[in-house]
Amino acid sequence: MENQKQNKTTQYALLVLLIISLVGNVFQYKNNQVDVNQRDLKIDTLVSVQAELEQELTATGKELENYRGIASNLDSLLNDANDKIALQEAKIKRLLVVEKDGKKLNAQLKKELAELRKLKEQYLEKIDQLISENEALKRENEAKAADITKLNEEKKGLQDKVATAEELKAEYIKVAAFKKRGNGKFVETSLAKRTNKIDVSLTVMDNKLAKPGDRMVYVVITEPGGKVLAGPSMAKFTKDGSGEELAASASYKLNYNGQKQEIKVAYESDERELTPGNYSIDVYINGTLVNTSTYILR
């Protein structure tokens, strides 16, 4: 009986110890499970912050680069921003290598993320300011250019008026045809096939606004077929306005003194090869057409 009691006491004691052991194991398992969950949460948080940092670095670079090419001063600012971003990226990489404490690393990475976002906003503010200043300067330059264009147009208008006022005029055009006799003397004729010479007499009018000096008088004689007669005193000149180069049948150098002057410009040819019909007589002074008339040869 006594042995049976001792066995039961021992069994009860072992059962109690087993229960205590089981409770302890369950408690320890739960504690270990909490530690694992907390560790996994910390790891997930750290990985999430790292990924967010990488995305922010990429997005910041792309967003700022959208403004490149607008102006040189803006490009210079973007270069500076890229340098700052590169420095911060290098700092983050060093942290990932050096810092072993996950909690500290997580806090430092979050700080760097906040700094990066702050840096981006600062540069976006500067970009906005520069673009506004550049647009204002562009509008100012456009306004100045418009004013200069207007002044140049007004100046040109005045110059054109002065040039027009200074232009010489030719009046009283008289045309005569001559044949050359055997003794060298010229006798007036009306027949084209007998003509050796065409004289164009004209009066250059007085103009007190015109400056004294040499002027070239060009006479262009065009036969009925449209060909310009070419003589020994033929010259080429540029027509005012069009810039077209013309050939003159005859030319004369006039020393203008501001007073009315009568001159004679002569076309001459040893060959009698003119055709009957209407001849056009155009008179130019220094490239400006000053008179047009016609002459008929029978």
Q: What's the token pair of residue 181?
A: 């006799």
pTM of this structure: 0.47
pLDDT of residue 157: 63
Average pLDDT over residues 164-186: 84
Share of the chain above pLDDT 70, in %: 78
| Residues contacting 262, CB < 8 A, separation 6+ | 201, 202, 203, 204
pLDDT digit string (tens) for 138-149? 888 888 888 787
Q: Is residue 260 part of a domain?
A: yes
Same-domain pairing of 196 and 251: yes
254: domain CATH number? 2.60.40.10
Same domain, 282 and 203: yes
The whole-angstrom separation of Cα 68 and Cα 166 is 55
Residue 218, judged by CB atoms within 10 A of its CB (0-12, 13-18, 19+), counts as buried
Own/partner long-range contacts of 84-92 (Cβ < 8 Å, ≥24 apart): 84/119, 84/123, 85/57, 85/60, 85/61, 85/116, 85/119, 88/57, 88/112, 88/115, 88/116, 88/119, 89/57, 92/53, 92/57
Same structural domain for residues 110 and 224?
no
62 inside domain: yes
The set of residues, in sequence order, having a beta carbon less than 8 Å from that of 116 and lying 6+ positions away, is 53, 56, 57, 60, 85, 88
Residue 159 lies in a domain: no
Identify whether residues 131 and 175 lie together within a single domain: no
**pLDDT tens digits along 250-262:** 999 989 888 888 9
Query: Tokens 């408690």, residue?
Result: 27
Q: Is residue 157 part of a domain?
A: no
The answer as to whether 158 is a domain residue is no
Q: Do 183 and 284 have their domain in common?
A: yes
pLDDT, residue 40, reads 41
Q: Do 236 and 111 belong to one domain? A: no
217 and 115 co-located in one domain: no
pLDDT score of 39: 44
Dihedral angle of Cα 176, 180, 183, 184, to the nearest 10 degrees: 70
Q: Print the domain residue range for 183.
A: 170-297
d(CA 264, CA 199): 7
pLDDT band per the 50, 70, 90 thresholds, residue 224: very high
Residue 13 counted as domain residue:
yes
Q: Which residue has the higher pLDDT, 38 or 148?
A: 148
Domains identified in the chain, total number: 2
Report yes or no on 196 lying in a domain.
yes
Domain contains 119: yes
Give me Rg for the CA atoms of the chain: 53
Cα-Cα-Cα-Cα torsion 33, 34, 38, 41, nearest 10 degrees, comes to 60
